[in-house]
Structure 1
Amino acid sequence: MKFPSKSISPAIYIPLLYFASGVPYVIINTVSVIFYKKLGIDNAQITFWTSFLYLPWVIKMFWGPIVDVYSTKRKWILYTQFAMSVCLGLVAFSLQLPNFFFISLAALTVGAFISATYDIATDGFYLLALTTEQQALLVGIRSLFYRLAVIFGSGVLVVIAGQLEAKLKNIPLSWTLAIGFAAVILAVISVCDRLTLPLPESDTPRQPTQTTKIPFFKIISSYFQQPKILAILAFILLYRFGEAMLLKVASLFLLDPIGKGGLGLTTSDVGLVYGTFGVISLICGGILGGVVIAKYGLEKCLLPMALALNVPNVFYVYMAYTKPTLPLVYSLVSVEQFGYGFGFTAFSVYLMYVSQGEYKTSHFAISTGIMALGMMLPGIMSGYLQNLLGYPLFFTLVCVLAIPGIISLLFIPLPAETNNQTS
């Protein structure tokens, strides 16, 4: 097969690369919660095991150099895309088996490692294949198509499964078809990328002698030698602690029947409420957050944005007690997700601030790994706490657990230029 030349516009292949990055991530970490719930798995089991699926994104920094040293980023992308489509195909098939939970969870675990590896290769390829000007120009496109993938996975795909449930009256088959559809899409993207991805001259394997010069210990130790590192770590782990617990349980709450304390929504309703309008609101919140930080600076925005992220969680307390009508659920979830997107922007900017110095890329990978750990640990315990407390008290606890993250703001170092602006 003849490979493409370097003249192919990145506007063709960058959208495909980042759409293919978002679809597996959202299926593994978000949609899995929904289809396991629909297939009758207990809340505690769902949140415990699916939270461990964050682990590859926690530790991916440790095998990032392997992707950097061996083979080319282009080959890593093509191989992992194909492997990911196979994993999703196996997940779809396994839902027809009596022991589907173990097999599908194993396939999702393998897929999580593949997806994290794909993310490493894709980000590296982005830097190698594009000029500095192209990188700046296409950063918005890259983010847009990743978000569209999230809407597709948590919204469109869930709605499709819900429609199939209503038509076929067969929940396992409905989800087999929906996940199988996603697997086919990734396979098609893999073929398209094989035809369109350029062959950058700089995308070559490093020589063996170069591998011995990678200062792993120096890179990691330099990150943890930053001033006030304990406060920084506490901030990264605690800023979204309550939200991380909410994230795993929100879909379960929407799906659980009213008799069990939930809202009793259909699968399609959840796809629209949380996966479509919710995600759109999250995107809008993130865009506004970036504009506000650019205008007022990070120091002035951190506390208001932390409150914007956490205070709307009280809406879930209200919904758990009152069981509102569907239109009001749409509104409340959309506002909560808007606040999350708005508040998360400050968090993202701060991670960039603490990822400075000689090893910016590696430091940012460490920061995002710790961030993923901060999502995994609360998620593991969330289902057990929900079963123990019930939805109203659980969501009340979520609101209370926002307080340590807000307190951590008092101790973290802030950008010098922001301090100067406000002094």
Structure 2
Amino acid sequence: MSDSAAIDPRNESPRKPTWAETVRVYFEPASLRMLALGFAAGLPLLLVLGTLSFRLREAGIDRTTIGYLSWVGLAYGIKWTWAPLVDRLRIPLLTRALGRRRSWLLLAQAVIIAGIVGMALVDPKASLDPLVWCAVIVAFGSATQDIALDAFRIESADTSRQGALAASYQTGYRLAMIWAGAGVLWIAAKSEVADVAAYQHGAWQTAYLAMAASMLVGVVTVLFSPEPRARETAPAKNFAQWLRTALVDPFADFMRRYGWQAALILALIAVYRISDVVMGIMANPFYVDMGYTKAEVATVSKFYGVVMTLVGAFVGGAMSMRLGIMRTLMLGAILSAASNLLFAWLAGRGHDLTSLIFVISADNLSSGIASAAFVAYLSSLTNIEYSATQYALFSSMMLLLPKWLAGFSGKFVDVYGYSTFFTSTALLGVPVLLLVWLATRVVPARSTPSAKDG
């Protein structure tokens, strides 16, 4: 088997683009739209996971409870169950005005904004349950936005540009995560009343309302974006035919194209980000327990982490285009696991701001490379006829096992400590390397329609 076939299962063009062509694609309208929409996709995630864990720990909520509350993120792991509706169902009035993809994006963004406003208004020290329910609303709205956005991205360009769109998407996504992480902490710190050491709900309220307003970036982008040209499908004659077309055919198509190799691909998808996801839940409680202030964590993430994240996303996208997706995927897996060992080292140093800068920078660089390559890989597996459903299946599987396992992270830290926890999460990444190596030998049984069209 040739090296190019092993690298890209979607028949990548044998001619490598020049560096000028590689850079120029990032300034095309489709890439710029993905930058803004990636921002809208990344913003809610930390507000219901990482940033929320910092807020809850500061409010005095114990680590075990925080770990269990991370199961709110399982909404992202089961989104494939309603992806067929997003892929096929028309929304009254909205779909006629905006098109199938944009109407679902706008509806999801409205749900997210409403949920974030609810999270801003509820004080966890007074009542935790309403805050959790608002977080659930945000998570389900965010997962729905992901379904529609992934289909929008895949349908907006041919296969040769999916790596660049993935990098632009990941750049916007990571910028939003920094804004929803460092930005929230910075706003909350600046909004605090001086000389009051206790948890201040008003400061967090201001920060979360600012995040709700930031979602307007996505709303405006959706309103001014063209609806991608989707493959025409014949209308269903009855509900049974619609159900088969929307739910059964997308999964049957994937199994038919990859056969027994589908099990290997799904196994890789299920564990590729396990090191990052499991570790991430306890990162912010770790900062609080190590004595880092909101301003310190915000400053480090904003001025050092953002640079390395941008570098990682663009390096990952460029490497995917020039060297192939699978080689970049392997590098990302190695770096992601290794960066967790740096957190184990940091746990033994106490409050050390210089070391924190180094660790966060290295972690963000690794994550940017891995994410850009992984999104491009998932995109290469989809058939454009079922892009929303198939991509939702893949991205759901990516999160289901890691999110479930992450729920026990607080309990693990309480029993064994931070250093052992971070080392253990790094070891979780070792089987990923074998699966990536095996996946380089996988090619589809036949070309997908998008490959022909591209």
1:79: which partner in 2? 107
SS in 1 for 2:177: helix
SS in 2 for 1:414: coil
Pairing partner for 1:43 from 50, 55, 63: 63
1:91: which partner in 2? 119
8 Å contact kept, 2:105–2:149: yes
- Alignment of 1:295 with 2:322, yes or no, is yes
- Alignment of 1:55 with 2:74, yes or no, is yes
| Cα pair distance change 1:125/1:296, threshold 3 Å | closer
8 Å contact kept, 1:289–1:345: yes
8 Å contact kept, 2:67–2:406: yes
> How far has the Cα of 1:162 moved from its partner?
2.0
Matched residues in 1 for 2:33 and 2:363: separation?
34
Matched residues in 1 for 2:389 and 2:30: separation?
25
1:167: which partner in 2? 194
- Alignment of 1:69 with 2:89, yes or no, is yes
Matched residues in 2 for 1:137 and 1:306: separation?
17
- Alignment of 1:24 with 2:44, yes or no, is yes
| Cα pair distance change 1:294/1:79, threshold 3 Å | closer
1:240: which partner in 2? 273
Alignment map for 1:276-315 (pairs within 5 Å): 277-315=304-342
> How far has the Cα of 1:332 moved from its partner?
2.0
More displaced, 242-251 or 402-411? Answer: 402-411
Amino acid across the alignment from 2:269? I
1:334: which partner in 2? 361
8 Å contact kept, 1:91–1:108: yes
Q: Note the residue ranges of structure 1 that are not aligned, 5 or more in a row.
A: 1-8, 257-262, 418-423
| Cα pair distance change 1:203/1:159, threshold 3 Å | farther
> How far has the Cα of 1:266 moved from its partner?
0.3
Matched residues in 2 for 1:202 and 1:288: separation?
30
- Alignment of 1:249 with 2:282, yes or no, is yes
| Cα pair distance change 1:180/1:220, threshold 3 Å | same
Alignment map for 1:15-414 (pairs within 5 Å): 17-50=37-70, 52-67=71-86, 68-71=88-91, 72=95, 73=100, 74-95=102-123, 98-99=126-127, 101-124=128-151, 139=165, 143-165=170-192, 167=194, 169=196, 170-186=199-215, 190=219, 192=220, 196=224, 209=237, 212-213=241-242, 214-224=245-255, 226-256=259-289, 263-274=290-301, 277-323=304-350, 325-355=352-382, 359-414=386-441
SS in 2 for 1:41: coil
8 Å contact kept, 1:155–1:276: no
Matched residues in 1 for 2:188 and 2:440: separation?
46
SS in 2 for 1:219: helix
8 Å contact kept, 2:163–2:320: no
| Cα pair distance change 1:305/1:186, threshold 3 Å | closer
8 Å contact kept, 1:251–1:274: no
Of structures 1 and 2, the one with the larger relative CO (CA 8 A, separation 6+) is: 2
More displaced, 29-38 or 287-296? Answer: 287-296
> How far has the Cα of 1:142 moved from its partner?
5.1
8 Å contact kept, 1:96–1:173: no
More displaced, 175-184 or 62-71? Answer: 62-71
Matched residues in 1 for 2:126 and 2:207: separation?
19
Matched residues in 1 for 2:230 and 2:322: separation?
37
Amino acid across the alignment from 1:61? W
> Deviations 1:144-164 (Å, cap 9, x if unpaired)?
443332222112122111222
| Cα pair distance change 1:13/1:299, threshold 3 Å | closer
> How far has the Cα of 1:290 moved from its partner?
2.6
Amino acid across the alignment from 2:352? T
> Deviations 1:249-289 (Å, cap 9, x if unpaired)?
11111111xxxxxx210012222334663243123112212
| Cα pair distance change 1:85/1:244, threshold 3 Å | closer
Amino acid across the alignment from 1:306? A
8 Å contact kept, 1:19–1:146: yes
> How far has the Cα of 1:91 moved from its partner?
0.9
8 Å contact kept, 1:33–1:251: yes
> Deviations 1:216-249 (Å, cap 9, x if unpaired)?
2232234346333333233222333222221111
> How far has the Cα of 1:368 moved from its partner?
0.9
| Cα pair distance change 1:13/1:162, threshold 3 Å | same
> How far has the Cα of 1:363 moved from its partner?
2.6
More displaced, 19-28 or 181-190? Answer: 181-190
Q: Note the residue ranges of structure 2 that are not aligned, 5 or more in a row.
A: 1-28, 445-454
1:421: which partner in 2? none
> Deviations 1:319-365 (Å, cap 9, x if unpaired)?
11122620221012211221222234443343334435864553322
Matched residues in 2 for 1:251 and 1:364: separation?
30
Matched residues in 1 for 2:202 and 2:231: separation?
42
> Deviations 1:148-201 (Å, cap 9, x if unpaired)?
3222211212211122236373521110111122223446875x5697566899
Matched residues in 1 for 2:351 and 2:438: separation?
40
More displaced, 205-214 or 367-376? Answer: 205-214
